Structure 1
Amino acid sequence: MSEPIIKLIDITKTFGEGEAAFQALKGVNMAINEGDFVAIMGASGSGKSTMMNIVGCLDVQTTGSYFFKGVPIESLNVDQRALLRRRYLGFVFQGFNLLPRTSALENVELPLLYRGESPAQRRKLALAALDSVGLVPWADHTPNELSGGQQQRVAIARAIVTEPTVLLADEPTGNLDSERSVEIMELLTQFNKERGITIIMVTHESELAAFAHKIVVFKDGLVERVEQH
């Protein structure tokens, strides 16, 4: 059995100090294998978003160990963590986070710009990513010319254009109706199956969590239970 791609050991996270201190995570243990599709569930304040920020190297734990591909993340400096994010991680958020006056194609090109790819290579890879979400005809449209579902497809194309090992999706269907939500979930399932991208998704919706192989339920800063599908 190969080593998990993500391994969390006794992870805690405390915000604030002294009497104002709040412990968002109280000793989380979790392992995620390459190719998994994991849904993270739990009430507001259960710690799931804090955990996602740590896994995404957007924040660091207070105590405990986080291993990514066997590397202890706490041993990396800020620049090294940024490099890990750029090379291995893709992000999809509830609010799409697209640049408003920029075309769909240019939005998708953005991570490649940070990687220093040439303009021709950026365009080629971005068009391929838009093609994979069915949006090449809308490549020149700005976000306000697209529906919510189309905007989230652009956001997914931007997340997968760098061919990440892990895709982190935080409430990716939160702003969409049920029909568009299912379309987005089918798209994520396709990338998981066909490209082997490991997906970790935060959701409140049990119908959407049902697309995952594994459901991890958080409660009061701890993993309450894990359900295999």
Structure 2
Amino acid sequence: MSARPLIELRAVTKTYGQGATALQALKGVDLTIDAGDFVAIMGPSGSGKSTAMNVLGCLDTPTSGEYLFNDVHVETLTRDQRALLRRRYLGFVFQGFNLLARTSAQENVELPLLYRGEPTKQRHVAAQKALASVGLAGWEHHTPAELSGGQQQRVAIARALVTEPAVLLADEPTGNLDTQRSREIMHLLWQLNVDHGITVLMVTHEADMAAYAKRIVHFVDGVVDSDTRNPHPAELTSPATTAAKAT
């Protein structure tokens, strides 16, 4: 008997506004995501991909339909219950990094734990571990202005990881980076998925970034237009990975 999906959307709709000005952003979305999957969500502007991501991240609620997370009906939860689910199970990475400018990398990473009320010593240890996991050991006391764009995004990823989430939601995580830094970030997300089992959901408009995912879901006009398995994720077929496996 197969395990239940970690995430299920069943006939989910989302409508903004009422009457003649109503905008139906989602028009009956069905989607299942297993634990440990890496899903790239793509589609043109206005296709519903960002709305779907907001629903999946418990930042918005469906107008109708069902959203199950670990068999819990998220659409029935209160605002406080959804916030608790976000804090305990979800990590977020955004295109714009969203780091506090005058605050060190370590202090930025500690923020989610500070909101949880974690003791100072535990926050320090967890933040240092998270920064090390993204290759930034030794950079704890640098501010964002002292870091490159790629390093800032690594800090943002460390901040998302410090709570040990089951799911990492990344919204255009390479949108503000050059090609080399983008590949570094995608390599990191790939490692977190493959080596640590973190489920990754990523919105992107870049096909070469989506190529790192195990599945590619295309949204068009508020519905899932296609959902395909990627038999050859980019990281698995990169020259560096092939060489590493040969040694």
TM-score normalised by length of structure 2? 0.92
The aligned residue for residue 205 of structure 1 is 206
Deviations 1:68-122, CA, capped at 9 Å, x for gaps: 0000001110111000000000000000011111110000000111121100000
Inter-partner Cα distance in structure 1 for 2:150 and 2:118: 28
The aligned residue for residue 160 of structure 1 is 161
Unmatched segments (≥5 aa) in structure 2: 231-247
> Size of the alignment, in residue pairs?
229
Quick one: which amino acid aligns to residue 121 of structure 1?
Q
Deviations 1:186-226, CA, capped at 9 Å, x for gaps: 00010101110000000011111110000000000000001
Unmatched segments (≥5 aa) in structure 1: none
What percentage of aligned pairs have identical amino acids? 66
The aligned residue for residue 121 of structure 1 is 122
Inter-partner Cα distance in structure 2 for 1:16 and 1:140: 46
Inter-partner Cα distance in structure 2 for 1:225 and 1:44: 16
SS at match of 2:226: strand
SS at match of 2:213: coil
Inter-partner Cα distance in structure 2 for 1:78 and 1:23: 22
The aligned residue for residue 63 of structure 2 is 62
Matched, 1:13 2:39: no
Query: Which 10-residue stretch deviates more, 153-162 or 110-119?
Result: 110-119
Inter-partner Cα distance in structure 2 for 1:150 and 1:166: 22
SS at match of 2:142: coil
Deviations 1:13-60, CA, capped at 9 Å, x for gaps: 001111110000000000000000000000011000000000000000
SS at match of 1:138: coil
How far is 1:142 from its partner? 1.0
How far is 1:136 from its partner? 2.1
Inter-partner Cα distance in structure 2 for 1:106 and 1:223: 39
The aligned residue for residue 236 of structure 2 is none
The aligned residue for residue 148 of structure 1 is 149
The aligned residue for residue 49 of structure 1 is 50
Quick one: which amino acid aligns to residue 69 of structure 1?
N
How far is 1:144 from its partner? 1.3
TM-score normalised by length of structure 1? 0.99
The aligned residue for residue 176 of structure 2 is 175
Q: What RMSD in Å do the two structures reach over aligned CA positions?
A: 0.6
Quick one: which amino acid aligns to residue 16 of structure 1?
G
The aligned residue for residue 106 of structure 2 is 105
SS at match of 2:100: coil
For 1:30-49, list aligned pairs within 5 A.
30-49=31-50
The aligned residue for residue 228 of structure 1 is 229
How far is 1:8 from its partner? 0.1
The aligned residue for residue 24 of structure 1 is 25
Matched, 1:78 2:84: no
SS at match of 1:125: helix
Question: Greater RCO between the two (CA within 8 Å, min separation 6)?
Answer: 1
After TM superposition, the runs of 4+ consecutive aligned structure 1 residues lying more than 2 A away are none
Inter-partner Cα distance in structure 2 for 1:63 and 1:114: 31
SS at match of 1:90: strand
SS at match of 1:84: helix
SS at match of 1:218: strand
The aligned residue for residue 89 of structure 1 is 90
Inter-partner Cα distance in structure 2 for 1:42 and 1:150: 28
